[in-house]
């Protein structure tokens, strides 16, 4: 029965590619370009060079917040069905559970994310939202309150501090991120928003 459950879980993960913003964006696997929908929502003030987002004369909308939340539920279901044996890695990327504090509710908000690279001891996550023009909610939350909880590959949660990579840090890290999963380059091409990188650092290593 457990073997059957693991096979079902692996089948789900083969179909669903979890992006580093914790949402499921496409059926591509790491190393493949995504087939992610795009958005016509007004861009963030932080902008990348403008690129056309039209395909066959139409502009595709990003998945709704409800769909994105559902994908997180699916991912947690995979972990449960497999007893944690499947779902803590997507390709070569480790998966983590990030818990932020809701900026309006004040309640814990958890999301499953992938981490394409490390920067020393810091865990790097990508606020791509599949190339949407809006930042993901978890990113907005941690900008308001950088104290977070992180459970990496099923390990117990630990208190960490989140910070947005500086422009120089992003310039150094971005090629490594794209090398780990080239779908991120596709996400960036779909939006005028410069996709932020977030470094999750142990609380006791962060000054102040």
Residue 8 CB neighbour total at 10 angstroms: 14
Kindly state the average pLDDT of the residues 83-94.
70
- 119-147 per-position pLDDT tens digit: 999 999 999 999 999 999 999 999 999 99
pLDDT of residue 62: 59
Identify the three-state secondary structure at position 110.
Answer: strand
Using a cut of 0.85, tell me whether the model's pTM lies above it.
no
**Where are any strands of DSSP class E within 102-153?**
108-114, 117-119, 122-126, 147-152
The predicted structure's pLDDT at residue 178:
97
Which has more confidence, 72 or 114? 114
- Number of CB atoms found within 10 A of residue 62's CB: 23
CATH of 2-31+61-205, one of 3.40.50.11540, 3.40.50.300, 2.30.110.10, 3.90.1150.10: 2.30.110.10
Closest CA to 5 of 83, 80, 82, 84: 82
Cα 78 to chain centroid, rounded: 17
> Mean pLDDT across the chain, nearest whole number?
74
Could you read off the pLDDT of 144-193 as tens digits, one per residue? 999 999 999 888 999 999 999 999 999 999 999 999 999 999 999 999 99
Q: For residue range 13-33, list pLDDT tens digits in order.
A: 444 444 445 443 433 444 444
Nearest to 31 by CA among 17, 44, 42: 17
């Amino acid at each position: 029965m457990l073997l059957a459950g693991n096979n079902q879980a692996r089948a789900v993960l083969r179909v669903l590619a979890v992006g580093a913003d914790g949402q499921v964006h496409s059926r591509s696997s790491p190393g493949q370009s995504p087939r992610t929908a795009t958005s016509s929502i007004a861009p963030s003030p932080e902008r990348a060079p403008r690129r056309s987002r039209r395909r066959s004369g139409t502009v595709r909308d990003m998945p709704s917040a409800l769909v994105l939340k559902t994908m997180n539920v699916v991912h947690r279901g995979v972990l449960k069905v497999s007893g944690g044996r499947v779902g803590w890695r997507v390709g070569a990327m480790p998966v983590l559970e990030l818990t932020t504090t809701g900026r309006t509710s004040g309640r814990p908000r958890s999301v499953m994310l992938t981490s394409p690279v490390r920067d020393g001891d810091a865990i790097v996550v990508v606020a791509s939202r599949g190339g949407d023009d809006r930042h993901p909610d978890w990113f907005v939350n941690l900008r308001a309150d950088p104290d977070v909880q992180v459970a990496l590959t099923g390990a117990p949660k630990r208190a960490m501090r989140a910070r947005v990579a500086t422009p120089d840090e992003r310039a150094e890290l971005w090629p490594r991120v794209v090398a780990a999963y080239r779908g991120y380059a596709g996400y960036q091409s779909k939006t005028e928003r410069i996709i932020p990188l977030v470094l999750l650092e142990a609380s006791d290593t962060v000054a102040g």
